[in-house]
């Protein structure tokens, strides 16, 4: 299989966004995933979010590891540089890339195997460091490319395609991320674009580590009746924790919300997040409340979705280590080399 | 002073308990000898431990400039009763043992000179605090030693003043302790050692520096901005030195840092960060040792195949497995030359001393950028963590980093059809772009899977093979770029040669000088890079027999010479030492002499 570029021509009257690009300009090559794969819906949501946010496509860097999900970075934003790295190690590549240039938007796409098993360590440490990136997990509870083994996010006693029982406790990436201090933690469902697109847009605007765990069913290996990662199961057990709107700095708030059920969160870049239709007493800025509520929903077999947790004050890695405002990859070489005179002084200290 | 002293050619050794604060007193001694103009080679022989285990500090002094380690100790300062037996045994006949005779003992050798100084008693009488007793005991023995082998006490005073410049309250107590030892020796000792120091001028233009600091400075001067690392002996001090100097020299006008130093969660992440930063156009490196190389291997293969510049400092230590973390070896040569799965091959540079750690470190960044591939700087514990006397570091302010084939926005405007992996110039090296460079052109997809010349995924075998063949062509190009070997053909017509690399050089050069004095004229080539340039093969062609000296069991460089320079195996005599200690000239001399006197003919120089 060789990759297929999409045809370049398109309808002359396609809508154009604020930076003069059409939706087509945010697409990538033709997907080679199975027909109906949830991941293709996530790809479409990323394209839509970037288009709606007027992002300059070339100012995005796409990073991924290995697996079905990691292949998808090739299916959107062909004007962006992409890096399909090694299995489970995308966070370190993203960290290095971000250190070199913090001005790009970093969109990472990973899977449940790539994140919750082989890459769990790097996922945790990227969170600890407050890496400014969007980290999307396309979570289907199974290893697709190697034909259907359970992954570590698969629920205990969820069944395999041929009836095998999953014996082990699942890793809940959202609860883990909250524990570790991730500033923006959300769960989406690939079958709910209306919920997912605003989550991705908000995550891109958020400065810090933004993880979106997207339940994205595998139609080939894990979409059967006994799976808790199927389209039907998630639709039937979806517990949406409010609705989210991203309000750009210049925009006025248009919708009206019932008093007492909404929360405003101001972001670093001047925009704000408006969460409404929140369940009673749910406060996504309070870790204690969030973790308690997520555990309750999980124990009841539910799938909590939406913006689950947010820290409006998280510092990103560059803030923490005090790097200069100019990207490290753009500093004038003369400002990097201390020069011969400084070396004389260094020599003198070694005599 | 003894009746007929030997001046400025001796080995001084301190046997201590680690964690007792001896290191700074011992370094002070080495530095004082250095300031007296004496070439010195201190070797820190330390355990993988924080407190309580034996540790040694050995200083070879050689006005003649022989700075390899030498067996046979002339003066032993034995401060650790646990190791008295081996310390006493290591003394040469006529050597001097200095020990703490607060608890007198007989050492059972009548061919050595024993000097007892009641250090514990003196320290206990002078200091009430137990920690002070311990710390100042070290300075007391330094004072006594200085008197006994004639170290210039004013030089030590100066050094103490500099060391405690920030804590002036500590100067006076240290000087007092020093005087305590000095006075005791002056008054009570009538049998000084046969070896003595006297001021010379052997160190004009020299500095005393460790390889790891020099390598870090090379990275700083080359413009490296992202350092990602995981602590592992003996590479840790390289990353820490980079951080120290970056904090000083890489501040913007607001005090913000023009560098990012990240202590990663493991070596996989450390190298992954370096790969990501280099991919994004910042010069980046990681520093590690053998176990780290093993962990990094998957990423190294990715960087090779996706053609991402990368600099890795491998400060080699004793392996395999955890091996001897605090001892030296050159045993990662093959592991690094072919690190990772599939057809891989990497550029290796072999610094022989801290001076070359600086220059080859800076060169490594240029090579990595020019070739778009991982470059390894193959240092070792001996170079990296010991102080060496080398020429002062120099930098040409006209030097600009060579970033290789990078297309900026303007250059991309002129390109009609960008192909990231296309061999435009016939040298195997393609053009790359940095993310975010251009709104419409130059973006590509970086992947470890097989790719077309535009970076697209492919399973077409002919495309895959052509790509691999192109990358192999880069390694033909590189042979002209890498540092040439250093060749010394004193015995111009000799058909015998020695080949070595890295930290073995002082021992090899000393051995060759001694062999020449015994009538064996031997030529010498020190390899500085892999892949080998033509000079390596040509040197081999001019000789019938070549001793390949290295610090590993299996002759790893010899394997490379056979496999990659097509040198006949029979020509290459393996001379390997792998006990973890820095090489001695005697080892090389004995090995070579043994073979030569087994019947080979050595042609004398004309």
Q: Is A250 on the interface with B (CB under 8 A)?
A: no
Beta carbons of A99 and B277 less than 8 Å apart: yes
What residues are paired with B310 via a beta bridge?
B374
Angle separating helix axes B153-163 and B130-149, nearest 10 degrees: 150
Pick the closest to residue B135 from B85, B189, B97, B79 (CA basis): B79
Pick the closest to residue B237 from B366, B44, B410 (CA basis): B44
State the Cα–Cα distance between residues A160 and A143, nearest whole angstrom: 11
> Any idea what DSSP says for residue B184?
H
Question: Any idea which fold A23-323 has?
Answer: Rossmann fold (3.40.50)
Q: Is the pLDDT of residue A233 over 80?
A: yes
From B252, B393, B459, residue closest to A343, measured CB to CB: B393
- At a CB cut-off of 8 Å and minimum separation 6, what does B53 contact? B17, B18, B47
Nearest CA in chain B to A61: B435
* CB distance A212 to A188 below 8 Å: yes
Best to test chain B binding among A93, A318, A340 (most B CBs inside 10 Å): A93
**Mean confidence (pLDDT) of chain A:** 93
State the Cα–Cα distance between residues A92 and B554, nearest whole angstrom: 35
**Which stretch of DSSP H or E encloses residue A263?**
strand A263-266
Query: Which chain A residues are closer than 8 Å to B225 by Cβ?
Result: 99-100, 328-329, 331, 336
What residues are paired with B311 via a beta bridge?
B285, B375
* CB distance B218 to B360 below 8 Å: yes
What is the model's pTM?
0.96
Query: Which chain A residues are closer than 8 Å to B365 by Cβ?
Result: none
Cα A345 versus chain centre, distance: 48
Query: Which chain A residues are closer than 8 Å to B274 by Cβ?
Result: 96
Beta carbons of B35 and A351 less than 8 Å apart: yes
From B433, B445, B459, residue closest to A74, measured CB to CB: B445
Best to test chain B binding among A3, A6, A83, A131 (most B CBs inside 10 Å): A83
- At a CB cut-off of 8 Å and minimum separation 6, what does B230 contact? B263, B264, B265, B266, B267, B269, B270, B288, B292
Q: Is the pLDDT of residue A279 over 90?
A: no
Nearest CA in chain B to A336: B223
Nearest CA in chain A to B308: A83
Beta carbons of B445 and A335 less than 8 Å apart: no
Query: Which chain B residues are closer than 8 Å to A129 by Cβ?
Result: 262
What is the least distance, in Å, from the CA of B37 to any CA of chain A?
10
State the Cα–Cα distance between residues A28 and A75, nearest whole angstrom: 4
Nearest CA in chain B to A329: B282
DSSP three-state, residue A38: helix
- pLDDT under 50: residue ranges of chain B: 601-606
pLDDT of residue A251: 60
- CB contact residues (below 8 A), chain A span 158-187, against chain B: none
State the Cα–Cα distance between residues B56 and B83, nearest whole angstrom: 10
Beta carbons of B444 and A81 less than 8 Å apart: yes
- Pick A21 or A280 by higher pLDDT: A21
Q: Is the pLDDT of residue A253 over 60?
A: no
Query: Between A and B, how many residue pairs show a Cβ–Cβ distance under 8 A?
Result: 237
pLDDT of residue A248: 79
Nearest CA in chain B to A102: B280
State the Cα–Cα distance between residues B25 and B32, nearest whole angstrom: 10
Query: Which chain A residues are closer than 8 Å to B279 by Cβ?
Result: 83, 93, 96-97, 100
Cα A259 versus chain centre, distance: 30
What residues are paired with B379 via a beta bridge?
B315
From A58, A59, A96, residue closest to B228, measured CB to CB: A96
pLDDT of residue A257: 52
Question: What b/e string do you get for B584-597 counting C-beta neighbours within 10 Å, with b at 16 or more?
Answer: bbbbbbebbeeebe
* CB distance B227 to B250 below 8 Å: no
For A2, phi and psi rounded to 5 degrees? -110, 150
Beta carbons of B275 and A93 less than 8 Å apart: yes
**Which stretch of DSSP H or E encloses residue B287?**
strand B284-288
Beta carbons of A329 and B268 less than 8 Å apart: no
DSSP three-state, residue B143: helix
Cα A179 versus chain centre, distance: 17
Nearest CA in chain B to A73: B445
Q: Is A58 on the interface with B (CB under 8 A)?
A: yes
The string of DSSP letters for A304-340 reads: EEEEEEE-TTPPPHHHHHTB-SS-GGGS-GGGT--HH
- CB contact residues (below 8 A), chain A span 28-57, against chain B: 29, 56-57
CA distances from B417 to A24, A74, B280 (A): 20, 19, 21
Pick the closest to residue B181 from B105, B121, B232, B248 (CA basis): B121
Query: Which chain B residues are closer than 8 Å to A61 by Cβ?
Result: 280, 435-436
CA distances from A257 to A61, A137, A274, A276 (A): 36, 31, 10, 7
State the Cα–Cα distance between residues B605 and B516, nearest whole angstrom: 10
State the Cα–Cα distance between residues B258 and B249, nearest whole angstrom: 9
From B395, B436, B459, residue closest to A340, measured CB to CB: B395
Beta carbons of A58 and B436 less than 8 Å apart: yes
DSSP three-state, residue B488: strand
Q: Give the pLDDT mean for A151-168.
A: 92
State the Cα–Cα distance between residues A122 and B133, nearest whole angstrom: 47
Beta carbons of B281 and A346 less than 8 Å apart: no
DSSP H helical ranges for B307-453: 333-337, 354-371, 381-385, 409-413
**Mean confidence (pLDDT) of chain B:** 96
State the Cα–Cα distance between residues B199 and B415, nearest whole angstrom: 66
Out of A153-157, A260-264, B433-437, B522-526, least confident range: A260-264
DSSP three-state, residue B66: coil
pLDDT of residue B600: 58
Sorted by where each starts, the structural domains of chain B and their CATH numbers stand as 6-196 (3.40.920.10), 209-391 (3.40.50.970), 405-483 (no CATH), 486-596 (3.40.50.920)
- At a CB cut-off of 8 Å and minimum separation 6, what does B314 contact? B235, B288, B289, B290, B292, B293, B332, B336, B376, B377, B378, B379
pLDDT digits (tens, 9 = 90+) for A181-232: 999 999 999 999 999 999 999 999 999 999 999 999 999 999 999 999 999 9
Best to test chain A binding among B217, B272, B361, B408 (most A CBs inside 10 Å): B272
Beta carbons of A339 and B397 less than 8 Å apart: yes
**Which stretch of DSSP H or E encloses residue B536?**
helix B534-541
Q: Is A350 on the interface with B (CB under 8 A)?
A: yes
- CB contact residues (below 8 A), chain A span 76-95, against chain B: 78-86, 89, 91-95
Q: How confident is the model at residue A3 (pLDDT cuts 50, 70, 90)?
A: low
Pick the closest to residue B261 from B309, B226, B217, B214 (CA basis): B226
Nearest CA in chain A to B35: A351
Query: Which chain B residues are closer than 8 Å to A102 by Cβ?
Result: none
From A3, A92, A336, residue closest to B273, measured CB to CB: A92
Query: Which chain A residues are closer than 8 Å to B260 by Cβ?
Result: 99, 318, 321, 323, 328
Best to test chain B binding among A89, A350, A351 (most B CBs inside 10 Å): A350
Beta carbons of A83 and B274 less than 8 Å apart: no
Handedness of CA A12, A14, A18, A23 (dihedral sign): negative
Q: Is A321 on the interface with B (CB under 8 A)?
A: yes
pLDDT of residue A256: 53
Nearest CA in chain B to A67: B449
State the Cα–Cα distance between residues A268 and B212, nearest whole angstrom: 41
CA distances from A350 to A111, B162, B207, B241 (A): 52, 12, 5, 14
Pick the closest to residue B145 from B41, B90, B74 (CA basis): B74
Tally the residues of chain B.
606
What residues are paired with B556 via a beta bridge?
none
Beta carbons of A3 and B279 less than 8 Å apart: no
Token pair for A151: 């992954």
For A21, phi and psi rounded to 5 degrees? -110, 150
Beta carbons of B458 and A324 less than 8 Å apart: no
What residues are paired with A60 via a beta bridge?
A105
What is the least distance, in Å, from the CA of B554 to any CA of chain A?
32
Q: 């891109």: which residue's tokens? A: A204
pLDDT of residue B483: 97
State the Cα–Cα distance between residues A324 and B225, nearest whole angstrom: 11
pLDDT digits (tens, 9 = 90+) for A32-49: 999 999 999 999 999 999
State the Cα–Cα distance between residues A126 and A182, nearest whole angstrom: 9
pLDDT of residue B605: 35
pLDDT digits (tens, 9 = 90+) for A82-121: 999 999 999 999 999 999 999 999 999 999 999 999 999 9
- CB contact residues (below 8 A), chain A span 123-152, against chain B: 124-125, 129
> Any idea what DSSP says for residue B603?
P
- Pick A264 or B167 by higher pLDDT: B167
State the Cα–Cα distance between residues B549 and B575, nearest whole angstrom: 5
């Amino acid at each position: 299989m060789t990759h297929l570029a999409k045809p370049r021509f398109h309808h002359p009257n396609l809508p154009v966004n604020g930076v003069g690009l059409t939706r087509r300009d945010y697409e990538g090559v033709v997907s080679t995933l199975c027909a109906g794969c949830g991941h293709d819906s996530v790809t479409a949501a990323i394209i839509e979010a970037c288009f709606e946010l007027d992002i300059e496509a070339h100012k995005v860097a796409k990073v991924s590891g290995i697996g079905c999900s990691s292949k998808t970075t090739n299916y959107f934003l062909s004007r962006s540089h992409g890096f399909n790295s090694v299995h489970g190690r995308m966070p370190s590549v993203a960290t290095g890339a971000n250190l070199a240039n913090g001005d790009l938007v970093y969109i990472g796409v990973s899977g449940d195997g790539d994140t919750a098993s082989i890459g769990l360590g790097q996922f945790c440490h990227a969170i600890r460091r407050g890496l400014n990136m969007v980290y999307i997990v396309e979570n289907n509870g199974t290893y697709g490319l190697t034909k259907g083994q359970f992954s570590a996010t698969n629920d205990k006693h969820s069944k395999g395609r041929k009836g095998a029982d999953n014996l082990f406790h699942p890793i809940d990436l959202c609860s883990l991320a909250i524990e570790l201090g991730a500033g923006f933690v959300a769960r989406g469902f690939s079958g709910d674009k209306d919920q997912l697109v605003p989550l991705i847009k908000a995550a891109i605007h958020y400065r810090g580590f933004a993880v979106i765990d997207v339940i994205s069913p595998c139609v080939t290996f894990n979409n059967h009746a006994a799976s808790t990662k199927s389209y039907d199961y998630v639709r039937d057990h979806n517990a949406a924790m409010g609705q989210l709107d991203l309000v750009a700095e210049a925009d006025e708030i248009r919708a009206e919300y019932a008093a007492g059920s909404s929360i405003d969160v101001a972001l670093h870049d001047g925009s704000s997040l408006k969460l409404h239709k929140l369940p009673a007493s749910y406060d996504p800025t309070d870790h204690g409340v969030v973790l308690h509520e997520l555990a309750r929903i999980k124990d009841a077999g539910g799938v909590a979705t939406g913006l689950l947790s947010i820290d409006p004050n998280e510092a990103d890695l560059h803030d923490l280590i005090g790097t200069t405002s100019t990207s490290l990859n753009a500093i004038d070489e003369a400002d990097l080399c201390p020069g011969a005179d400084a070396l004389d002084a260094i020599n003198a200290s070694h005599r | 002073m003894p009746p007929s002293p030997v001046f400025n050619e001796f080995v001084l050794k301190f046997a201590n308990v680690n964690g007792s604060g001896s290191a700074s007193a011992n370094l002070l001694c080495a530095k004082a000898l250095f300031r007296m103009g004496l070439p010195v080679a201190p070797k820190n022989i330390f355990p993988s431990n924080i407190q309580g285990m034996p540790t040694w500090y050995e200083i070879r002094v050689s006005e003649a400039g022989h700075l390899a380690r030498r067996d046979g100790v002339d003066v032993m300062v034995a401060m650790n009763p646990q190791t008295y037996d081996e310390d006493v045994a290591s003394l040469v006949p006529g050597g001097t043992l200095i020990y703490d005779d607060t608890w007198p003992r007989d050492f059972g050798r009548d061919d050595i000179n024993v000097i007892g100084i009641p250090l514990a008693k003196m320290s206990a009488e002078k200091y009430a605090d137990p920690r002070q007793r311990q710390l100042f005991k070290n300075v007391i023995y330094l004072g006594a030693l200085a008197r006994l082998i004639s170290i210039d006490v004013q030089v030590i005073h100066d050094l103490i003043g500099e060391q405690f410049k920030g804590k002036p309250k500590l100067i006076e107590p240290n000087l007092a302790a020093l005087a305590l030892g000095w006075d005791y020796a002056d008054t009570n000792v009538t049998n000084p050692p046969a070896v003595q120091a006297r001021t010379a001028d052997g160190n004009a233009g020299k500095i005393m520096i460790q390889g790891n600091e020099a390598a870090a400075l090379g990275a700083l001067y080359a413009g490296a901005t992202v350092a990602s690392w995981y602590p592992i002996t003996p590479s840790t001090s390289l990353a820490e030195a980079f951080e120290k100097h970056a904090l000083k020299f890489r501040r913007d006008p607001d005090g913000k840092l023009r560098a990012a130093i990240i202590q990663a969660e493991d070596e996989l992440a450390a190298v992954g960060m370096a790969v990501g930063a280099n991919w994004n156009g910042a010069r980046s490196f990681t520093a590690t040792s053998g176990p780290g190389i093993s962990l990094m291997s998957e990423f190294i293969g990715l960087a090779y195949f996706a053609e991402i510049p990368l600099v890795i400092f491998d400060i080699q230590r004793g392996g395999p497995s955890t091996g001897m973390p605090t001892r030296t070896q050159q045993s990662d040569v093959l592991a690094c030359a072919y690190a990772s799965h599939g057809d891989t091959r990497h550029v290796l540079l072999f610094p022989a001393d801290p001076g070359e750690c600086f220059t080859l470190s800076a060169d490594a960044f240029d090579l990595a950028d020019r070739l778009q591939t991982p470059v390894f700087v193959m240092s070792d514990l001996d170079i990296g963590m010991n102080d060496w006397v080398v020429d002062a570091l120099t930098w040409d302010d006209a030097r600009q980093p060579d970033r290789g084939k990078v297309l900026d926005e303007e250059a991309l405007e002129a390109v009609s059809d960008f192909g990231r992996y296309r061999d435009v110039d016939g040298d195997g090296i393609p053009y790359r772009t940095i993310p975010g460079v251009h709104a419409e052109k130059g973006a590509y997809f970086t992947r470890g899977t097989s790719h077309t010349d535009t970076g697209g995924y492919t399973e077409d075998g002919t495309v895959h093979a052509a790509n691999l063949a192109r990358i192999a062509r880069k390694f033909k190009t590189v042979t002209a770029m890498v540092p040439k070997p250093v060749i010394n053909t004193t015995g111009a017509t000799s058909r015998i040669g020695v080949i070595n690399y890295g930290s073995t050089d002082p021992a090899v050069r000393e051995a060759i000088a001694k062999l020449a004095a015994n009538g064996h004229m031997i030529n010498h080539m020190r390899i500085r890079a892999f892949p080998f340039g033509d000079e390596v093969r040509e040197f081999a062609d001019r000789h019938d027999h070549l001793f390949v000296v290295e610090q590993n069991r299996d002759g790893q460089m010899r394997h490379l010479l056979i496999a990659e320079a097509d040198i006949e195996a029979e020509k290459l005599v393996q001379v390997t030492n792998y006990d973890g200690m820095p090489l001695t000239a005697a080892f090389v001399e004995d090995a070579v002499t043994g073979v030569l006197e087994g019947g080979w003919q050595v042609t004398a120089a004309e």
